[in-house]
Structures are given as C-alpha cells and as structure tokens.
Chains A and B, each alone.
Chain A
Amino acid sequence: MSLACYIHVPFCKSICPYCDFCRILYDPKRVDPWLETIQKEIESALSWIRKQDGLRTLYLGGGTPNILSEDQLQTLVSPLIPYLHEDYEFTIECNPEALNEDKIKAMKKLGVNRVSLGVQSFQDDILRKLGRRHTKEMIERAIESLKRNGIENISIDLMYALPFQDQRDLKKDIEEFLKLDIMHLSIYSLILEENSAFGKAHMQPLDEDLEADEYEWIVKTLKEHGFDHYEISSFAKEGAYSKHNLAYWMDEDFIGIGAGASGRFLGARYHNTKDLDTYIRLGPCRTEEKTDGPFEAIMMGLRTSFGVDLKAYEEKYQIDLEKKARPLMKKYEGELMIQEGALKCDERGREKLNSILVDFLDLYA
C-alpha cells in the first residue's frame, strides 16, 4: 500500500493571532540550515517509501510553504518526485500574498497539482483583525493565476465563529466562495488556543448556540450548492476530496517530515521536535507517541461521512465494532448508527462528536 507524505514548513512572514501551531518568523539565515537537515530526513525516509510502493500523496503544510523560493522548493521536494504514483496528489498550502505568477509556474513545473489557499475571509477588515497580510483582491488574483497556470484543484480555508464577525459577514464569505467556482472548502471555527495571541488576550468565544446556528447554516447552504459534506470541516464537489487528508481519517500510515511534523509508522504514531534549533542541530528527534489504534480509528473515521468500515475494522483490530458500539448507538439514537456496513454519525452526531468520542474512550478504557 502506497503512502501519504506530509512535510512541515514552519516559516511565516508574520504570526497570526489565533495560531499556536508550530510556526516561526521567517528568517532567511535559518532556512538553509533547516533545508540541509530536512534533506537528510527525506533521504532516510526513502527506504520506507520504496518498501511501501511509493507515494500516493505529498502535502506541504505550514507555516507558509510558499514563502520558500523556487529553488528552495525544488531542493526540498525533488528527491521525492520520482516516487509519486501516476494518479498522485501533490498539495501545497499557500498564503495569497506570497503567490506570484513566477512561483505558481515553478510549482506547476515541480508537479504541484493542488493548492490549499489560506483565505480565512473575503473581507479586508476581518482579515486585518485576523492579522493576515492579504486582501480580497490578492485572493482573487491568486486564484485567477492558479487556474490560468493549470492548477484547477484548489481548496480554500475559511474561518467562522469569530467574535468580530456577525452572521451577515459569514454569509458574505460563503457567497464570495460560491462565486469563485472552487471544488473544495475547509471551514474551521475559531478556537481560542491558550498559547495564541487571541488566547492570551482572553478573547471570549462566540455563544455556543450561535456557533451551532452558523455551522448548521453553512452545512445546509453548501449542500444546496452541490457540495458533499464529507468530513466535519470539509466540503467537496464531484468527489474532489482531499486524498491526503483521507489517509489521516481512514486510519492509514503516513510519513511526517520536518520540525513539528507528526507521522504514523506501522500503526505507531510519532512526532518530530517542534524546536527549530534543536531540529537543525540534532535532526528530527523523533518521539513515539502513545498510540491507541482501535480508538483512534473511530475518532478519525467518525469525522467523515463514510464512517468506520466494520469489516476492515474487525480484520485490523479483531473487534466486533457493531457489538461494541451498541450501547452508544442506543444513547445517541439516530445520531450514531450502522449504515452500509460502516459505523457512522449523521449531521447531528458529527456536531457532538467530542461527546460521543469521550463515551467511546470510556468504552475502550
């Protein structure tokens, strides 16, 4: 079975106030040593990739991967390119402001065939409050340019449940999105992470009921426009699913490369050091994580509309999931059920997935 590969590029031009992910202010002096280390890490991953029959997907996430120059991108990914399958998916996360025509052309030449664009909102005042460096105009220019250069498979990230965004703003953002004729949308509610600037400023989250109203409105509207709500935060038209993310959700192994990256090897999860200096000095410093396969398969699978396949689950973990989940299907009647040989949540069930998962944790304790 071929693999999914994630490469983390931690650099950003500025740090967004809602983010507490592994991100570092862009410093040209640190990019080259980082690049040297990551090349070594990729080199050592190749033997695993060879054994696993190559790569099905390659995903550059961040940070802001398109902050790297054309040459740096080339140096980073070229050792992996020969292992990409014929029907591969190669995604780069991009911020609109750093996406010029030259960079797009270089990306296309490298084999990039999907771009995930960090849009967050189409309204300049909200973008400013989110600390983003781009404007609506830059978004539109970037999308036009991507399409013109033959990168049609575009996904957009949006945010909702922002304290400084009302329902009219949200509606406007969704309308703008629909106008653009894009196949994929990931939409996330604002989570006030303790270590983010918003969190430290004790920003108050949106009222729970209002957030639920917004979420339900988004789901309804996008479905009406022909989008498949195939994962809690993801919508796709005509099967334009994120193949890479599906590997996470469908309980598969994946390679994680770079400072701050996570991966899963033969069912065991690991993560690399988040500290860039440590990474540069000592390499990935891989730490194994406590992995609980049978639970994690449910935790990830129930996020999707496909659910957890009972037969595959039993083969992998020797657990009769239908029997195991029975008390919870009773508790969450109509929200958690067996359908077409898989354990699934309906829309309402997915909305309260955390509560369902906490009950599963108890079941697996």
Chain B
Amino acid sequence: MDQSHIRNFSIIAHIDHGKSTLADRILEMTDTVEKREMKEQLLDSMDLERERGITIKLNAVQLVYHAKNGEDYIFHLIDTPGHVDFTYEVSRSLAACDGAILVVDAAQGVQAQTLANVYLALENDLEILPVLNKIDLPSAQPELVKKEIEDMIGLDCSDAVEISAKSGQGVEDVLEQIVAKLPSPSGKPNAPLQALVFDSLYDPYRGVIAFVSIKNGTIKPKDKIRFMASGAEYEVIEVGVRTPKEVQEDELSTGDVGWISAAIKNIENVRVGDTITHVENPAEKPLEGYRQMQPMVYCGLYPVDNARYDDLKDALAKLKLNDASLQYEPETSQALGFGFRCGFLGLLHMDVIEERLEREYNLNLIATSPSVIYHVYKTDGEMVAIDNPAALPPAQNIDRIEEPYVKAEILVPKEYVGAIMDLCQKKRGEYVDMQVIDEVRMQIVYELPLSEIIYDFFDKLKSSTKGYASFDYAFTGYRPSKLVKMDILLNGQIIDALSTIVFKDFAYRRGNAMTIKLKDLIPKQQFEIPVQAAIGGKIIARTNIKALRKNVLAKCYGGDISRKKKLLEKQKEGKKRMKMVGSVEIPQEAFMAVLSMDEE
C-alpha cells in the first residue's frame, strides 16, 4: 500500500483510563478480530497482564480501516503500558510511531502519567490526538477536563472526540481523526534500510524475533542485514506483521511495523533501540537511540533450589531480551547461595519480573528486600557504589554515606493535603512546592530519599487518600545521610540476605517492626528461635519464635481422609518454598518482610 495510507500510532494514557479497552474496540470495529475470538484486553497477551489488568509489554498490530472517504488505510497500533515503572517501554513504542492518541478519563481528568506520557510523545515529535473516555459515567465532566488538558498540556481540545471505549460510542470518530489528523510515515522506500528495533522476544524454534518499525528502505527474506550497534550480521528468513496473529509477508517497506526472524540464537546481539540496515548499501548512520532508563531499585534473586542457578541465569537472559530495562549480575549470599543482584525501574517492575520468572520459567525464587544504590565514601577517599546492604564496608572505614533523592510530584484532592504532608515528613521528605491545579486538586512537591519511597510509600499514599492520590518521581541527585546497616540474627546467626541500610533515627523502630514481622512470617519449629536486630554488634530489638506445640488437628470424618491429605500436601508445597538457613526454615516472604511490616 502507498505510504500516504499508512498511520503508525500509539495510545497513551494514565493507568485505568481505558487505553486497552479502546484498543480492543478498534480491533473489533476494523474487523481485525472477529467477535467470537475477542477476549477482553486482547493485546495484553501475557497471562500476568490480563490477570492484573495492566499492560506490561507493548504489542504492535496491523489493521485495515475502510475510511468514510472510501479509501483503505493501514493502521499500525502499538499498545503501551501506563504505570510509572514502564516509562521505558512507552518511550520505545513511541519512537516507532508518528502519532499518538491521548486517552483521558473524563471523570478523573489529567493524572501524573497522562503528563509523563505526553512529554515522552512530544520528545518524539508525535502528533497528539486528545480523546475523552468514559463519557457515559455519571461523574464525567468532559468540558472541565478539556479545559484542564488545554491549560496543563497546551493541546487544542476543540475537536477532541468524546467516547465510551466500553460501549464503542464515538470510537468511529477516533478512527476518522486518525486518518485526517495523524501524519503518514515520512521515510523514503528507495533510501538505504533503517529499521528501528523497538521490541524483541525469544521463540524456541525460530530464535530471536525482532519487532521493527521501518523508517527508510525495505526489507525482505534472504536480505543480508546488520545490527548497527552490535555489528552482528544475519540473513533474513521471514518477515511479517501481526494482525494480531503472526502473518508472513513478502517484504516490509517504509512505514511498515512488523517482525523479522533471522535464526538469531545469540540474544545479546539484538538490542532494543538498535538500527537494522543492509550489509550491502548500508545506511550512513543509525537512527537516534532511545532514552536509556536507569534502574532505581535493586534486589537479590536466588533460586530456592541452588541446583537451578543456571536455569535462573538463562531465564534472566531471555527476559532481558524482552525487557531492556532489566539489569542483573551474579552475586552470592551466605544464607541463600548463588544468585543475581537485579536492577529494576521500580517496585512494580520488580514484582512483575519476579512473577514472570516464576511463571514462565517455572522457577521457585527468593527475592531479598529491595535496595537503592548508596554511594559510600571510605576514609581512604575511595567511593564505592553499594546496591547490596550486606556488602557495606565496616563502619570504621566509612567516612560518609550518600543516598539517592527524588523529586516526587503528588496530585491529590485538597482534603488529603494534610495527610500527604504528614506522610512525606515521616518519610524524611523536604517540602519544595505546592500548587493549586483546579477547584479540587493540589499538586504537592517534595524531595524524598528514594529508599523511603521503595518501601511502602505508594501503599501508604493510596491508603491515606482513599486511592485518590497519584504520584510520579524523578531522580535529583545524591545527598549525605545518617545511615547504618541493620543486621538480622536468627537463632544467633546473622542472615546476610536480611540486612538492610536504614536511617539511623529510624533504626530502633524499624528493628522492632522487622523482628515482629519475622516472628509472624516464620512458622514455629521444633525449637525456640530468637529473632534479633543489631547494629554493629549491638542488639537493638529482640523477640522469640516459640517452639511448635500443637497443630490444628482435623478429624477424618466417616473415613474420608481426602481433605486431610490435601491439607498436608498443601503444607508440603509450602515447605518447598522455604529455605533452610543453618537449622532454621525460612519462608520466601520473610526475605521481603521489610516491605510489609507495620511501623506504626
């Protein structure tokens, strides 16, 4: 098809504003997917995505739209995640597009991620089409929200379509606007090939599949190609598009968004953000790279069964291929054996990666409590970056420790301002600014240590505002803090995987909360187990896990033992998820205890 009839676009939105539902409707209304094949949130193909109702991996789909002007258009729709942790994925999908549909909930209005995504879209020079969703909600205030978009973002909303993605109302107008208002791809089919790799996945039969947006030139099977950054060369085997089923094509030309397979076994060679060109008649230079995201949160991941270290290594390599923001390197723990220190964009990202490793690679994992990177200045003048509390040098060799701070922007209804300021103060926050957004909402800006945010800040934020607050944060720099390492001893033995770095003034409170939480999480065993928190050899908190005395002993009624047996089987499965450290059996959750303890 002629290039002027192609539209490449993403849908961007704050979480829950209806982006995936709109994508579903578009697929339906363009007959891309037949009704009977329609599952809710079709683009969310990972089980995890559908269960949680969030989009994690982007997905690109080709569809054909018969416009009202009588002509057919090819749309490439690239779905994007909405959560703050997945900004990297969003920036990758946006680089593959020429335009974006901005979905805003007509009841909730502009939220933190609405803004963040719009800025990413603007950075990528995309044309933006504002759309107001959930117009059928009784609480919808489309005129107010349009004004908000115009005031806060500066987008003209006079033509903004009002829709209900759920019922389909107004969606056709969105399709017409895509044709009328979004630009077609601008590249040249005769120029040397430049194909942007924006995603990839590993297929056990075909090797690495690269998802590409063809910016210039064409690509077809048997072409000799080169990845410009890694320098790796391959011969193309198949090319195609997703509709959303995989469909083979004879070639992909400028403006197309599709996939390439080339029997690529070495996953390291396919880097997201790289440019593919031809070996003969190559492009002069690669396309502009992506915004590289730096991990903010680190934790250790260990297989419960040490024999599965290699499987974990393999699984991480494959996930990294699919998720360029994941970082990892080997580490060892006295308590847990061999594992990896992994870096994530945020807590949800960490959670998702851990769950994908367990589900998709059938691994049984222990995750240690998350940590940020501390800059430790030693007395000899050297600076070491520490992402694992157990690796902190001895106190006498430390001159000072600096920790990362972030600027947090919190949007909150007026009545909760007090609660939020209170929370930020408790988390060592420093007040920066406060602004009135509209009649009901305020924006509060605080500088906060990142380490306080990665614990339970988000949960606390939500619970103290009935879920109304939203926030986004950006790294601002390192600052010195009074920090100490807190060790946890079980049965008198330091468990290195449970060590944390804490603010000195919080140490007693946190030590107490931690020991109590561990007492709850670790099941009673044959002997009494002292649980202690210590700073530099000094015990600051202590409790005991009493020896096991009595189980709940069910009767086997009428000779029916099946229920009893099921219970025992379940407990046995639970035991599989425990790690024997010395003589103590520790359940996986205990290593993350710090995330769920209550310090109040």
Cα(A232)–Cα(B561), bound, Å: 15
Whether B551 lies near A351 (C-beta < 8 A) is: yes
Stretch from B3-11, B76-84, B337-345, B552-560 contacting the other chain: B552-560
B571 at the interface (CB under 8 A from A): yes
| Known pairs A262-B562, A269-B562; A358 contacts B557 (CB<8 A) | no
Whether B568 lies near A358 (C-beta < 8 A) is: yes
Distance in Å: Cβ of A304 to nearest Cβ of chain B:
12
A268 at the interface (CB under 8 A from B): no
Restricting to B500-555, which residues have a CB under 8 Å from any CB of A?
526, 546, 548-555
A188 at the interface (CB under 8 A from B): yes
Whether A355 lies near B548 (C-beta < 8 A) is: yes
Distance in Å: Cβ of A212 to nearest Cβ of chain B:
4
Cα(A247)–Cα(B526), bound, Å: 32
Whether B561 lies near A299 (C-beta < 8 A) is: yes
A354 at the interface (CB under 8 A from B): yes
Tell which of B548, B559, B571 touches A352, judged by Cβ atoms closer than 8 Å. B548
B206 at the interface (CB under 8 A from A): no
A198 at the interface (CB under 8 A from B): no
Whether B526 lies near A331 (C-beta < 8 A) is: yes
* B569 surroundings in chain A (CB, below 8 A): 361
Closest A residue to B554 by beta carbon equals: A191
A-B CB contact pairs (8 Å), 27 listed: A186-B555, A189-B552, A189-B553, A211-B550, A233-B553, A248-B556, A248-B559, A256-B558, A260-B558, A261-B558, A262-B559, A262-B560, A264-B559, A269-B561, A271-B562, A296-B565, A299-B565, A332-B526, A350-B553, A351-B551, A352-B548, A352-B549, A353-B553, A354-B567, A354-B571, A357-B568, A358-B568
| Known pairs A299-B564, A354-B571, A362-B575; A21 contacts B557 (CB<8 A) | yes
| Known pairs A262-B560, A299-B564; A351 contacts B554 (CB<8 A) | no
What is B's interface to A at a CB cutoff of 8 Å? Answer: 526, 546, 548-562, 564-565, 567-569, 571-572, 575
Distance in Å: Cβ of B583 to nearest Cβ of chain A:
10
* B564 surroundings in chain A (CB, below 8 A): 299
Whether B549 lies near A351 (C-beta < 8 A) is: yes
Whether A212 lies near B575 (C-beta < 8 A) is: no
Distance in Å: Cβ of A257 to nearest Cβ of chain B:
10
Contact mask A1-43 → B, CB, 8 Å, 1/0?
A: 0000010100000000000010000000000000000000000
* B551 surroundings in chain A (CB, below 8 A): 351-355
Closest B residue to A6 by beta carbon equals: B558
* B560 surroundings in chain A (CB, below 8 A): 262, 271
Distance in Å: Cβ of A267 to nearest Cβ of chain B:
13
Cα(A293)–Cα(B554), bound, Å: 20
Cα(A211)–Cα(B551), bound, Å: 10
* A248 surroundings in chain B (CB, below 8 A): 556, 559, 561
A294 at the interface (CB under 8 A from B): no
Cα(A299)–Cα(B567), bound, Å: 12
* A205 surroundings in chain B (CB, below 8 A): 552
* B548 surroundings in chain A (CB, below 8 A): 352, 355
Cα(A243)–Cα(B111), bound, Å: 71
Interface-centre pick from B526, B561, B569, B571 (highest chain A CB count, 10 A): B561
| Known pairs A271-B560, A299-B565, A331-B526; A233 contacts B555 (CB<8 A) | yes
Q: Closest 10 A-B residue pairs measured CB to CB? A: A354-B551, A212-B550, A262-B560, A351-B550, A248-B559, A212-B549, A361-B572, A358-B571, A61-B558, A358-B572
Cα(A189)–Cα(B572), bound, Å: 23
* B559 surroundings in chain A (CB, below 8 A): 6, 247-248, 254, 256, 262-264
A208 at the interface (CB under 8 A from B): yes
| Known pairs A61-B557, A261-B558; A361 contacts B568 (CB<8 A) | yes
Restricting to A261-289, which residues have a CB under 8 Å from any CB of B?
261-264, 269, 271, 289
Cα(A260)–Cα(B555), bound, Å: 16
Contact mask A240-263 → B, CB, 8 Å, 1/0?
A: 000000011000001010001111
Closest B residue to A188 by beta carbon equals: B555
* A264 surroundings in chain B (CB, below 8 A): 559
Interface-centre pick from B554, B564, B565, B567 (highest chain A CB count, 10 A): B565
Cα(A264)–Cα(B558), bound, Å: 11
What is A's interface to B at a CB cutoff of 8 Å? Answer: 6, 8, 21, 59, 61, 186, 188-189, 191, 205, 208-209, 211-212, 215, 232-233, 247-248, 254, 256, 260-264, 269, 271, 289, 296, 299-300, 331-332, 348, 350-355, 357-358, 361-362, 365
Closest A residue to B574 by beta carbon equals: A358
Distance in Å: Cβ of B557 to nearest Cβ of chain A:
6
Closest B residue to A93 by beta carbon equals: B558
Closest A residue to B576 by beta carbon equals: A362
Whether B549 lies near A296 (C-beta < 8 A) is: no
* A350 surroundings in chain B (CB, below 8 A): 553
Given contacts A256-B558, A299-B565, A354-B551, 6 further A-B contacts (CB under 8 A): A205-B552, A256-B559, A260-B558, A350-B553, A351-B550, A353-B553
Distance in Å: Cβ of B555 to nearest Cβ of chain A:
6
Whether A289 lies near B553 (C-beta < 8 A) is: no
Distance in Å: Cβ of A325 to nearest Cβ of chain B:
16
* A256 surroundings in chain B (CB, below 8 A): 558-559
Distance in Å: Cβ of B510 to nearest Cβ of chain A:
27
* B552 surroundings in chain A (CB, below 8 A): 189, 191, 205, 211, 354
Distance in Å: Cβ of A129 to nearest Cβ of chain B:
20
* B555 surroundings in chain A (CB, below 8 A): 186, 188, 233
* B567 surroundings in chain A (CB, below 8 A): 354
* A263 surroundings in chain B (CB, below 8 A): 559
Cα(A352)–Cα(B527), bound, Å: 13
Whether B549 lies near A209 (C-beta < 8 A) is: yes
Cα(A350)–Cα(B556), bound, Å: 15
Distance in Å: Cβ of B553 to nearest Cβ of chain A:
5
Distance in Å: Cβ of B14 to nearest Cβ of chain A:
35
Cα(A214)–Cα(B556), bound, Å: 21
Cα(A71)–Cα(B571), bound, Å: 46
Cα(A99)–Cα(B396), bound, Å: 81
Closest A residue to B526 by beta carbon equals: A331
Whether A262 lies near B553 (C-beta < 8 A) is: no
Cα(A150)–Cα(B565), bound, Å: 39
Whether B549 lies near A208 (C-beta < 8 A) is: yes
Cα(A8)–Cα(B554), bound, Å: 19
Cα(A263)–Cα(B546), bound, Å: 40
Whether B575 lies near A354 (C-beta < 8 A) is: no
Closest B residue to A215 by beta carbon equals: B550
* A262 surroundings in chain B (CB, below 8 A): 558-562
Cα(A212)–Cα(B554), bound, Å: 14
Cα(A233)–Cα(B572), bound, Å: 24
Cα(A289)–Cα(B565), bound, Å: 11
Closest A residue to B525 by beta carbon equals: A355
* A191 surroundings in chain B (CB, below 8 A): 552, 554
Cα(A111)–Cα(B185), bound, Å: 93
Cα(A350)–Cα(B550), bound, Å: 8
Tell which of A247, A261, A331, A352 touches B550, judged by Cβ atoms closer than 8 Å. A352
Interface-centre pick from B549, B552, B559 (highest chain A CB count, 10 A): B559
Cα(A362)–Cα(B564), bound, Å: 16
* B556 surroundings in chain A (CB, below 8 A): 248, 300
Cα(A362)–Cα(B575), bound, Å: 9
Distance in Å: Cβ of A155 to nearest Cβ of chain B:
13
Distance in Å: Cβ of A160 to nearest Cβ of chain B:
12
Cα(A215)–Cα(B555), bound, Å: 15
Distance in Å: Cβ of B364 to nearest Cβ of chain A:
15
* B549 surroundings in chain A (CB, below 8 A): 208-209, 212, 348, 351-352
Cα(A296)–Cα(B572), bound, Å: 15
Distance in Å: Cβ of A302 to nearest Cβ of chain B:
11
* B565 surroundings in chain A (CB, below 8 A): 296, 299
Whether A8 lies near B558 (C-beta < 8 A) is: yes
Cα(A262)–Cα(B560), bound, Å: 5
